[in-house]
């Protein structure tokens, strides 16, 4: 996969691309990530990339010409000729559709992903119309620029690429993961480090020491009873989802036992 980041601050990505899972994925050539400085495509003496808004109002607006040239320099198919299952050009924007794990999985299937980082009051709308396949927002808040949002997208997408995580299954069995067939309830299967969350949040994790500042690791995790461990993890995931993100329960894959457990916690589905 190739990822291109279009930004006025390419240096912001230097550290992010060097460390951890992302750094290793780049070194192992599972992905190539390139940054492009928009100011290289501004041709006046001051390399101006912003201008005042038509119609008046606060702040400045990202000019379309340098962004258009930066995108065109990547020699992607033009927007009408693009196959969005192979390549997408995406504008990071607080007005975009929500970036979720489902979108991350979709983007991880692309050959090329181009992310445009806005600044100022935003990007001239014609850039989105002419060049972008979609706009994505990483959450309901306003950042000062698209770089942090792009870094979030790159991180979430790259860790889903085949071979990037030590165990490819680990990205499937975490918060927002797709359902695990049987939801890990087969009493004969050994418990994995995590189980298919089926749209739930992940369950709590513990490692050594067994006692830390007066708090013990739950006994059930120490006694080797795999089916008890699996049930305990499932119930903790249900409990945590009910407490922190009850909105996820409506679409989660729930067994009869899950529903009974949730009812015992006071959850009432419509």
What residues contact residue 248 under an 8 Å CB cut-off, 6+ apart? 176, 199, 200, 201, 241
Residues 134/88, Cβ–Cβ less than 8 Å: yes
Q: Is there a contact between 138 and 153 (Cβ–Cβ < 8 Å)?
A: yes
137 part of the interface to ligand SAM, by CB under 6 A? yes
Sole binder of ligand SAM in the list 66, 118, 196, 199 (CB under 6 A): 118
Binding mask 72-111 for ligand SAM (x = CB under 6 A): --------------------xxxx----------------
* Cα–Cα distance, 173 to 28 (Å, whole number): 24
Residue nearest to ligand SAM (CB): 118
CB atoms within 10 A of CB 189: 13
The distance of closest approach from Cβ of residue 91 to ligand SAM in the complex, given in angstroms and rounded to an integer, is 7
Binding mask 149-168 for ligand SAM (x = CB under 6 A): x-------------------
121 or 219: whose CB is closer to ligand SAM? 121
DSSP string over 139-162: SSS--S-SHHHHHHHHHHHHTTST
Give the whole-angstrom CA distance, residue 77 versus residue 87. 9
- Residue found by looking up tokens 């989802």 in the block: 241
How many residues at the interface with ligand SAM, by CB under 6 A? 20
CA distance 189 to 167: 18
Q: Is 144 in the site for ligand SAM (CB under 6 A)?
A: yes
Using the rule CB under 6 A, which residue among 53, 145, 191, 204 binds ligand SAM?
145
Is residue 178 involved in binding ligand SAM (CB under 6 A)?
A: no
Nearest approach in angstroms of CB 208 to ligand SAM is 38
What residues line the site for ligand SAM (CB under 6 A)? 92-95, 117-119, 121-123, 137-139, 141-146, 149
């Amino acid at each position: 996969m190739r990822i291109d980041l279009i930004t006025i601050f390419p240096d912001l990505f230097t550290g992010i691309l060097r460390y951890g899972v992302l750094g290793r994925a780049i070194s192992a050539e599972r992905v190539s990530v390139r940054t492009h400085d928009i100011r290289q495509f501004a041709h006046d003496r001051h390399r101006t990339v912003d201008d005042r808004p038509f119609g008046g109002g606060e702040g400045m607006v990202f000019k379309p010409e340098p962004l258009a040239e930066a995108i065109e320099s990547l020699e992607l198919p033009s927007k009408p000729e693009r196959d969005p299952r192979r390549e997408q050009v995406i504008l990071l924007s607080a007005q975009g559709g929500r970036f979720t794990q489902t979108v991350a999985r979709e983007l991880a299937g692309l050959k090329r992903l181009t992310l445009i980082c806005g600044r100022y009051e935003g990007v001239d709308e014609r850039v989105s119309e002419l060049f972008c396949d979609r706009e994505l927002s990483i959450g309901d808040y306003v950042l000062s620029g698209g770089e942090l949002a792009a870094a979030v997208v790159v991180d979430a997408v790259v860790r889903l690429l085949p071979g990037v995580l030590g165990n490819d299954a680990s990205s499937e069995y975490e918060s927002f993961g797709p359902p695990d067939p049987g939801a890990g309830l087969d009493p004969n299967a050994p418990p994995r480090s995590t189980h298919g969350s089926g749209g739930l949040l992940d369950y709590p994790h513990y490692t050594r020491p067994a006692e830390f500042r007066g708090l013990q690791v739950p006994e059930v995790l120490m006694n080797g009873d795999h089916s008890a461990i699996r049930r305990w993890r499932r119930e903790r995931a249900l409990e945590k989802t009910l407490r922190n993100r009850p909105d996820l329960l409506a679409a989660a894959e729930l067994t009869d036992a899950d529903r009974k457990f949730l009812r015992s916690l006071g959850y009432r589905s419509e």
